[in-house]
Every structure is written in C-alpha cells, then in structure tokens.
C-alpha cells in the first residue's frame, strides 16, 4: 500500500500582533495517508483539521515542514491538482445553476470539454445518485442533494484522492446513510479518502484508519482495530438499589446507562466475565442480558481529548 | 500556442461563471433598473418640453442637450457605482462562501483565478454600460432623428475610466475579507482620481525655500505622477457637446488612443497589485 499524502514536521503558526504570543494551529504534524484507504481525520473544533486540509490544498501556507502528495513536493502542480477532489464544509453553489451546469463549470477547470466532459458529468451524477435531478436548479435541491452535488464536483476529474470536510454534517439519517454508502463505494473502487468529521459514529462505520488531533498535535493515530482495543462486558439487570450499586462499584462494576427501567452495568476489561456474573448473582440481581462490548470511536475520542486537555492544564 | 490557449481556458470559464453570477446580483440589477428609468425619464421629460414649446429646430437641440446631460450624469454615477460594487465584491464573496476553495483546489493558479474574476467583472461592467448607452443613443436618435455616432467614442472613454477605478477597487478587494472596505476604497479612488489635477497645482505653488512647503510640494508632485488622473477622460464631455453628426475633431481623435493606453496601463497596474496581494493570501 503506497503513501499518497505525507506530511513531515508540518507546522502552522499564526503571529498574534496584539499579545505578542504566537498561536500554534498545527505543531510538527507527521501524517501519512495510504492509497485506497478511508482516513478519518478527527478532532474538536479548532484542533487544526481544516488548517491541515487547507495546507494540503495550497490555500494556506505552512510555517515549517513539508508536504508530499503522490510523491510530489510541488502540491500546486497540475498532476497533483488533477488527482485531488475537495469538498469543503458548507460550500455554496449558485442557486441559479442546474446540477449539470455546476459540474460542467468544474469539469472545464480540469480542461475537460465536449463529449468527454458530458460523459463524465453523467458518470459522476450516477455515482452520487443525482441523475434524476441533473436539470433541476440548485435552489430546488435539499441539503443532502447539495452535498451530493458537492461530492460530484470533487469527483469530476476522477481523482485518486478525495479530501472531504464534514461530508455528512447537517444531513438527515437517510441522507447520511446514502452518503456513507457512496463513500464506501468510492473506497472499494480504489479511491483514497481523507475525511474530516465530527460524526464519529458514521466515520467509525466506514474508516480504515483514524487520527485524533488536539491543539494542533496528533494524539492518536492508527487503524480502527488498533485504536479501539478496549473491549469489555456489559450486563443488563432488572434494577439495583443504591447499596448494591455501591458494593458493585467497589469491585469495579459501574452503572453505565438506564434504558426502559433496565440497568446497564459496565464490567472493566481486566475482570473475568464469570467473576462479574458471580458478583451480580451474589447481590441477587436479576440478569436480563450479557453482551461483549468494544469501545466506540466516540468514546475513544472523548477519552483522548479529555486526557490531552488534562495534560495541557497541568 | 496550445499552451497559451490552455492557460487562458481556465480564466475564461471563471470569467463566464462570474458574469453569469454577477448579472443576477440584486444590488446591481437595482442600480441598472434605476439608471435605465432615469434615462427613459429624460426622454419623456424632453417630449413634454417639446409639446409645451411647440417644437422646432432650436427646441430639438435643447431637448437633445437635456437628454445628454441627464443621461451622461446617470451613466457616470450609476455606471461607476455598478463598477465599484461588482469589482469590490466578487473575490471577497467567493472567499466567504468558499467557492474559491473548490476552484483553487482544481488545476487553477491564483493568477488564472484572478484573471478570470477580473475579466468577468469587466464583462459585467461592459454589458451594463452597453445597455445604458444603447438606451441613451435610442433616446437621442428618436429626438434628433440622427444616429449620434460620436457618443460611441464618449462611451468608449467612459469604459476606460471605469476600468481604472475597477482595477484598483479589485486590488483592494483582494486583501479584504468583505466587500465593505473595497467599496469605500473604490469610491475614494474615484474621488482622488478626479482631484489629482489639484495636486499639480499644489506642487506648482509650493515654496522651494520652505522645507515643509517643499516637502508637501514634492509629495503632491509624486502623487500627481503616480495616481490615476480621471480628469483626463473628461474629454468625453467635450465630445458630447459636439453636433452628433459632426466629425470628431482632430485634437480629440488624437487623444483617444493615448487615453486607451493610459487606462490599460493603470488597469494592468491594478491587476498586478491584486495578484501581488492575493499571491500569498491565506484563504
């Protein structure tokens, strides 16, 4: 698997003219994105995700460090630009244009024309499921349709790499699922996707690797399986008194949630499952269900960011 | 040749896109409708005067003068407002709504992008001017029964005056985050451009013996030489005062190429400044 995006020591510092204190938007970022994978680029607001993406696209310039895309340092070169598709967050497309007209404009910027361009427009519209609305004005599009036409403009040159900033934000569950399916299909066709998102549940379902950024520094990076190693057990019981819960807590079993009157208990991953069940039995709890459980990307994200916050405040 | 065509293909598509978007801007359409209404009104006003005075050759000339004065003022004011408004807003608006991200992430260099935007602005300015001038010509033709060819020269010079203001407003807009500052800047350029002639007076009147006075004189002289002088285009009003059927006087005819070159030189300077500002702009 070849590396298609690589940054080494990439930094971005904004000079503050008033306080005399520099603001580090990105600190010596070493990042690789491999060919044919979906890489989730995660982080809270202001962590440096968009800064990284803008630097990859040449929209802003690094203070230090280097970027290589497809093995080329000249990221503004035609070869690199031909092979990158970008979907910005909340981009606007003129209302008076039809879906196919927007794509024609962006296709022309890649030097496409004539029959080749029209064929490509039909292909991408098919790919994002927008063929039915190709002649409709954008003012008649729903938010999901606009997002799909945005994705179509990113795909118009059939690029090898797609950089998507919040592709599912603001979409309803059905539109989100459709977008997720499209992205997964693109990955299956060999495209490389770098997705910046706050929709962690969505991202977890389709990503191969993820990196968590906080205050301009990568806190964790790896495959989803490598990152989500914390596995434990949940036990669902009818109910438990405060006293029983106190006893359970002393042994490490903690209440996690309450759903329809049933209590979900979380067993730490270093405790034997049988021991946990015996403790519940000793406390005369009525067991409803026992299920293995893996930490979600959302939990990992919250934990990682929380740890980073604690480190930065101490 | 092919490389040159390829290079300009991107800017051309951006220009067409800018034009299509620009002509739908409500503020611009509003200005245009207002100006056309005033031009139209001048025609009716002259018809009314014609009826009250009973007509005749002298009245027709007075009517023509009235239409010319109102139309020229309208084209100058509204044309300049449209020019400033559109030149000030195209780039900041695209940065704000992120269209610039999708365009510059394609194989489009910043110089090509700006060239496309600037060409698009000029297409809008020209179209507006053409529309206003056409109505003006029709009004004069109907009133005086003679096609006023000379007015086309005046319209041409008006465009180059707009071009100078447009280029510098565009340059300011490339450093701005919204259209407000460049709009103010554009109005300021228009004002300064019409006052440049006074700087020459200041430099001539300065007293070389007094240090401060001499310094002010030198600064005024430098500004007079560098700032665009829009008063140079005032020759267009001289053309308007001529009989529409008369030939263009030689001294006016000789000045037109120079004024076109003058306008183009300042437009190129404005574009170079715009690119210099935008080249490393963090978007």
Whole-angstrom Cα distance, residue A240 to residue B256?
Answer: 95
Q: Which of A72-76, A93-97, A159-163, B237-241 has the highest mean pLDDT?
A: A159-163
* pLDDT score, position A56: 95
| Contact partners, residue A67, CB within 8 Å, separation at least 6 | A5, A6, A7, A10, A55, A56, A73, A75
Looking at chain A, the whole-number percentage of residues with pLDDT higher than 70 is 98
- List, in sequence order, every residue forming a beta bridge with A222; answer none if it has no partner: A210
CA B182 to chain centre: 15
Q: Which residues of chain B make contact with A88, given a CB cutoff of 8 A?
A: 98, 101-102
Residue B279 contacts A, CB cutoff 8 Å? no
Nearest to B102 among A60, A76, A153 (CB): A153
Q: Which residues of chain A make contact with B6, given a CB cutoff of 8 A?
A: 111
CB B271 within 8 Å of CB B170: yes
Mean pLDDT value across chain A = 89
Whole-angstrom Cα distance, residue A217 to residue B252?
Answer: 67
* pLDDT score, position B115: 96
What band does B139 get if pLDDT is binned at 50, 70 and 90?
Answer: confident
Put simply, the answer to whether A57 touches B101 (Cβ < 8 Å) is: yes
Looking at chain B, the whole-number percentage of residues with pLDDT higher than 90 is 40
- What the block records as the tokens of A259 is 């759903």
Nearest to B9 among A89, A96, A111 (CB): A111
Could you give the 3-state DSSP secondary structure of residue A170?
A: coil
What are the extents of the domains in chain B? 2-279
* B221 against B51, higher pLDDT: B221
* pLDDT score, position B58: 56
- What the block records as the tokens of B65 is 């003068």
Q: Which residues of chain A make contact with B2, given a CB cutoff of 8 A?
A: none
Which chain A residue lies closest to B23 (C-alpha atoms)?
A: A96
Residue B111 has pLDDT above 90, yes or no: yes
Q: Calculate mean pLDDT across residues A258-266.
A: 85
Q: Which residues of chain B make contact with A56, given a CB cutoff of 8 A?
A: none
* pLDDT score, position A156: 94
* pLDDT score, position B56: 56
Tell me the pLDDT tens digit for each residue of B76-88: 888 999 999 999 9
* pLDDT score, position B49: 62
Put simply, the answer to whether A109 touches B13 (Cβ < 8 Å) is: yes
CB B189 within 8 Å of CB B169: yes
Looking at chain B, the whole-number percentage of residues with pLDDT higher than 70 is 92
Whole-angstrom Cα distance, residue A138 to residue A120?
Answer: 19
| Range with the poorest average pLDDT among A11-20, A232-241, B221-230 | A11-20
User: Residue A161 is inside which H or E element, if any?
Assistant: strand A161-165
What band does B132 get if pLDDT is binned at 50, 70 and 90?
Answer: confident
Whole-angstrom Cα distance, residue A207 to residue A213?
Answer: 16
* pLDDT score, position A257: 83
CB B196 within 8 Å of CB B224: yes
Put simply, the answer to whether A59 touches B97 (Cβ < 8 Å) is: no
What residues of chain B, 8 to 47, have a C-beta less than 8 Å from chain A?
Answer: 9-10, 13-14, 17, 20-21, 24
CA of A243 vs chain B CAs: smallest distance (Å): 57
CB B84 within 8 Å of CB B171: no
CA of B10 vs chain A CAs: smallest distance (Å): 5
* pLDDT score, position B142: 78
CB A265 within 8 Å of CB A255: yes
Whole-angstrom Cα distance, residue B99 to residue B93?
Answer: 9
Contacts within 8 Å (CB) and 24+ apart, B277-282 = B277/B171, B277/B174, B277/B175, B278/B91, B278/B110, B278/B114, B278/B174, B278/B175, B279/B110, B279/B111, B280/A61, B281/B174, B281/B175, B282/A59, B282/A60, B282/A61
Q: What is the dihedral of CA A81, A87, A92, A94, to 10 degrees?
A: 60
Whole-angstrom Cα distance, residue B7 to residue A259?
Answer: 63
Nearest to A111 among B6, B21, B24 (CB): B6
| Contact partners, residue B190, CB within 8 Å, separation at least 6 | B80, B84, B165, B230
Residue A16 has pLDDT above 80, yes or no: no
- What the block records as the tokens of A196 is 């910046």
Whole-angstrom Cα distance, residue B192 to residue B261?
Answer: 20
Residue B107 contacts A, CB cutoff 8 Å? yes
The values of phi and psi at residue B220, to 5°, are -60, -40
- What the block records as the tokens of B218 is 């030198």
Residue A45 has pLDDT above 70, yes or no: yes
Residue B6 contacts A, CB cutoff 8 Å? yes
Whole-angstrom Cα distance, residue B169 to residue B89?
Answer: 9
* pLDDT score, position B244: 64
| Three state DSSP letters for chain B | CHHHHHHHHHHHHHHHHHHHHHCCCHHHHHHHHHHHHHHHHHHHHHHHHHHHHCCCHHHHHHHHHHHHHHHHHHHHHHHHHHHHHHHHHHHHHHHHCCHHHHHHCCCCCHHHHHHHHHHHHHHHHHHHHHHHHHHHHHHHHHHHCCCCCHHHHHHHHHHHHHHHHHHHHHHHHCCCCCCHHHHHHHHHHHHHHHHHHHHHHHHHHCCCCCHHHHHHHHHHHHHHHHCCCHHHHHHHHHHHCCCCCCCCCHHHHHHHHHHHHHHHHHHHHHHHHHHHHHCCCCC
pTM greater than 0.90 (yes/no): no
What band does B32 get if pLDDT is binned at 50, 70 and 90?
Answer: confident
Put simply, the answer to whether A86 touches B102 (Cβ < 8 Å) is: yes
Tell me the pLDDT tens digit for each residue of A266-305: 888 788 888 888 988 888 888 888 888 778 888 888 888 8
Which residues does A contribute to its contact with B (CB < 8 Å)? 54, 57-61, 76, 78, 81-82, 84-94, 96-97, 105-106, 108-111, 150, 153-154, 157, 163
Q: Which residues of chain B make contact with A15, given a CB cutoff of 8 A?
A: none
Closest CA to A53 of A91, A93, A16, A79: A91
**Residue in the block written with tokens 């399916």:** A181
Tell me the pLDDT tens digit for each residue of B52-82: 555 555 556 666 677 777 888 888 888 999 9
The values of phi and psi at residue A258, to 5°, are -130, 115
Mean pLDDT value across chain B = 85
What residues of chain B, 200 to 259, have a C-beta less than 8 Å from chain A?
Answer: none
- What the block records as the tokens of B211 is 């240090």
Q: Calculate mean pLDDT across residues A242-261.
A: 86
Helices (H), A99-199: 99-109, 114-127, 143-155, 173-188
**Residue in the block written with tokens 């930490």:** A295
Expressed in angstroms, the distance from the first to the final Cα of chain B is 32
CB A109 within 8 Å of CB A102: no
**Residue in the block written with tokens 């200041």:** B202
What band does A187 get if pLDDT is binned at 50, 70 and 90?
Answer: very high
CB B118 within 8 Å of CB B86: no
Tell me the pLDDT tens digit for each residue of B156-214: 999 999 999 999 999 999 999 899 999 999 999 999 898 888 888 888 887 777 888 88
Which chain B residue lies closest to A104 (C-alpha atoms)?
A: B13
CA–CA–CA angle A257, A261, A267 (5° rounding): 35
Put simply, the answer to whether A91 touches B98 (Cβ < 8 Å) is: yes
| Three state DSSP letters for A31-87 | EEEECCCEEEEECCCCCCHHHHHHHHCCCCCCCEEEEEECCECCCCCHHHHHCEEEE
Residue B246 has pLDDT above 80, yes or no: no
Could you give the 3-state DSSP secondary structure of residue A259?
A: strand
- Pairing type for strands A192-196 and A209-214 reads unpaired
Residue A154 has pLDDT above 90, yes or no: yes
């Amino acid at each position: 698997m070849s590396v298609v995006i690589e940054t080494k020591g990439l930094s971005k510092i904004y000079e503050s003219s008033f306080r005399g204190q520099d603001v580090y938007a990105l600190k010596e970022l070493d990042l690789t994105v491999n060919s044919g994978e979906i890489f989730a680029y995660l982080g809270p607001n202001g962590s440096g995700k968009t800064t990284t993406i803008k630097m990859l696209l040449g929209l802003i310039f690094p203070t230090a460090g280097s970027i290589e895309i497809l093995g080329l340092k000249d990221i503004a070169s035609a070869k690199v630009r031909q092979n990158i598709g970008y979907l910005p967050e909340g981009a606007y497309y003129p209302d008076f244009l039809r879906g196919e007209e927007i794509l024609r404009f962006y296709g022309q910027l890649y030097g496409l024309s004539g029959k080749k361009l029209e064929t490509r427009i039909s292909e991408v519209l098919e790919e994002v499921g927008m063929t039915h609305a190709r002649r409709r004005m954008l003012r008649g599009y729903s938010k999901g349709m606009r997002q799909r036409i945005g994705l179509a403009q990113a795909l118009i040159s059939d690029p090898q790499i797609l950089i998507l900033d919040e592709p599912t934000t603001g979409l309803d569950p059905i539109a989100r699922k459709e977008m997720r399916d499209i992205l997964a299909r693109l990955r299956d066709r060999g495209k490389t996707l770098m997705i910046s998102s706050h929709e962690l549940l969505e991202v977890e379902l389709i990503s191969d690797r993820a990196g968590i950024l906080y205050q301009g520094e990568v806190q964790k990076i790896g495959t989803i399986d490598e990152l989500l190693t914390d596995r434990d057990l949940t036990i669902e019981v009818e109910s438990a008194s405060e006293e029983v819960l106190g006893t359970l807590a002393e042994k490490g079993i903690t209440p996690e949630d309450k759903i329809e009157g049933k209590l979900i208990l979380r067993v730490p991953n270093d405790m034997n499952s049988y021991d946990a069940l015996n403790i519940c039995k000793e406390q005369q709890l009525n067991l409803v269900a026992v299920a293995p459980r893996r930490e979600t990307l959302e939990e990992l994200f919250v934990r990682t960011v929380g740890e980073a916050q604690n480190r930065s405040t101490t | 040749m092919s490389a040159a065509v390829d290079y300009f293909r991107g800017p051309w598509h951006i220009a067409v896109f800018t034009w299509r978007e620009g002509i739908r801007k409500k503020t611009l359409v509003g200005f245009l409708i207002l100006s056309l209404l005033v031009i139209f009104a001048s025609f009716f006003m002259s018809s009314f005067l014609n009826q009250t005075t009973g007509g005749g050759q002298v009245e027709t000339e007075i009517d023509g003068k009235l239409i010319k004065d109102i139309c020229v003022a309208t084209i100058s004011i509204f044309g300049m407002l449209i020019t400033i408004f559109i030149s000030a807003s195209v780039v900041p608006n695209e940065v704000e709504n992120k269209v610039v991200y999708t365009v510059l992430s394609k194989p489009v260099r910043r110089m090509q992008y700006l060239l496309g935007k600037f060409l698009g602005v000029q297409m809008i300015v020209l179209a507006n001017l053409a529309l206003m001038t056409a109505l003006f010509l029709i009004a004069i033709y109907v009133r005086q029964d003679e096609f006023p060819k000379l007015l086309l020269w005046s319209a041409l010079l008006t465009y180059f005056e707009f071009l100078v203001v447009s280029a510098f407003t565009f340059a300011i807009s490339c450093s701005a985050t919204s259209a407000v500052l460049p709009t103010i800047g554009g109005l300021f350029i228009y004002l300064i451009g019409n006052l440049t002639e006074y700087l020459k007076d200041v430099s001539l009147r300065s007293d070389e013996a007094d240090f401060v006075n001499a310094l002010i004189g030198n600064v005024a002289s430098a500004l007079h030489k560098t700032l665009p002088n829009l008063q140079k285009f005032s020759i267009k009003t001289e053309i308007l005062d001529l009989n529409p059927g008369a030939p263009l006087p030689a001294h006016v005819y000789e000045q037109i190429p120079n004024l076109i070159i003058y306008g183009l030189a300042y437009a190129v300077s404005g574009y170079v400044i715009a690119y210099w500002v935008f080249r490393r702009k963090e978007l």
